[in-house]
Amino acid sequence: MSRLSETYPPDRVVLREVGLRDGLQMVDRYPSTTAKTEWLRQESAAGVGHFEIGSFLPASSMPQFADVRQLIDVCDDLNVHSAALVLNDRGAVDAVQTLVGEIVTVVSATEEHSQANARRSQKEAIALVGRTVDLARNAETQPVVHAGISMAFGCSIAGEVDPDDVVRIAVACAEAGANVIGLADTVGVAGPDQVGDVVRRVRNELGNVTLSIHLHDTRGMGIANAYAALDAGVRVIDGSLAGLGGCPFAPGATGNVVFEDLVYLCERKGFATGIDLEKLFSVRELAATEMPNEQLSGGLPRAGTPRQINWRA
């Protein structure tokens, strides 16, 4: 069995918890390494198996991710899958020298956001995907390479995004060797029909490539869009504990789809996640203590799981 099929089995839904990366990008105060370790430990005990835990960026610009290497080792000790973001060659080189299970690169669907987010063109970003793939293939651990297409459903800088451009970029990333192609609603502008349409277009072009979806709940469409993505065949979905998150280089980008609500959606649709929601709820207490000024969102944590019906049915 390949590393990719072990990480993302095609016959089941995998939920990636991105709270320790995307969730911490814009916070005023972030958890200590000890608290992050406990976050991982508690979520692992609740059945969460996939985490995006930081970025290989200079600590001077993103001090909240200075402990990314330590958290990768924590994930290895817990026997859970770790992913980390890289935005340049130095980050990719550093990443392959660790035990990280997945390296996430980003290609923007618009040139305007590409320059604002990473100070490079789309062409240069796709070239970085290829170089990262080469590094990963030659690394002892051979991590999965995930090419995320940001602003795939609309851009707060450039406006409308042509789905044909998203398909073109997805094809280029696949040709560069990316194992996973991600579609990101970076600023939460998408609706369910649009999500389903773009996913189907990419799948029609690339066949059985592993697709992921990364959704923000900026306008309350996160769960509806996740539903549409599932119906269109996506089996890897990102969510953030308590809906934490945002992008400092994307005006208007607020929190991610709430991970807890996403678990409930999948279970109600008949996809077993293996995640114990009651145990997951307790991690919110840790987040609230470490980041008292952050809003913690989520319909399910507010209302609780139904007691009088079989909510997994």
Reported as a single tens digit per residue, the pLDDT across 146-179 is: 999 999 999 988 899 999 999 999 999 999 999 9
Of 103-117, 121-135, 186-200, 202-216, give the lowest mean pLDDT range. 103-117
Residue type, 43: E
Residue 310 has pLDDT above 70, yes or no: no
Mean pLDDT of all residues in the chain? 92
Per-residue buried b or exposed e for 224-243, using 16+ beta carbons within 10 Å of the residue's own CB? bbbbbbbebebbbbbbbbbb
> What would the mean pLDDT of 30-45 be, rounded to a whole number?
97
pLDDT bucket at 126, cuts 50 / 70 / 90: very high
* pLDDT recorded at residue 158: 87
| Residue 142 scores a pLDDT above 70 | yes
Phi, psi of 2 (to 5 degrees): -75, 160
How much is the pLDDT for 14?
Answer: 98
Give the largest CA-CA distance in the chain.
Answer: 55
CA distance 81 to 217: 25
Q: At residue 248, does pLDDT exceed 80?
A: no
Which residues are known to be catalytic? 247
Task: Give yes or no for residue 312 having a pLDDT over 80.
Answer: no
Over the stretch 183-238, which tens digit does the pLDDT of each residue have? 999 989 999 999 999 999 999 999 989 999 999 998 899 999 999 999 999 999 99
pLDDT for 122 equals: 93
The closest alpha carbon to 15, from 252, 241, 312, belongs to 241
- Quote the CA–CA distance of 28 and 24 in Å, as a whole number: 9
Over residues 243-254, the mean pLDDT reads 65
Does position 249 have pLDDT exceeding 60, yes or no?
A: no
Say how far residue 29 (Cα) sits from the centre of its chain.
Answer: 21
Give me the mean pLDDT over the 54-65 stretch. Answer: 93
What residue spans of the chain are helical by DSSP H?
Answer: 3-7, 33-45, 68-78, 89-96, 111-118, 122-138, 163-175, 192-206, 222-231, 259-268, 277-290, 299-303
Task: Pick 272 or 28 by higher pLDDT.
Answer: 272
Q: With bands split at pLDDT 50, 70 and 90, how would you rate the model's confidence at 90?
A: very high
Residue identified by tokens 């599932």 is 230
Q: Pick the closest to residue 253 from 167, 181, 166, 190 (CA basis).
A: 190
CA 164 to CA 31: how far, in whole Å?
40
CA dihedral 180, 244, 152, 16 (to 10 degrees): 20
> In the structure encoding, which two tokens stand for residue 251, read together?
């005006």
pLDDT at 85 over 90: yes
End-to-end CA distance of the chain: 31
Q: Which DSSP string do the residues of 202-235 spell out, in sequence order?
A: HHHHHSS-EEEEEEB-TTS-HHHHHHHHHHTT--
Asked if residues 177 and 37 have their Cβ atoms less than 8 Å apart, the reply is no
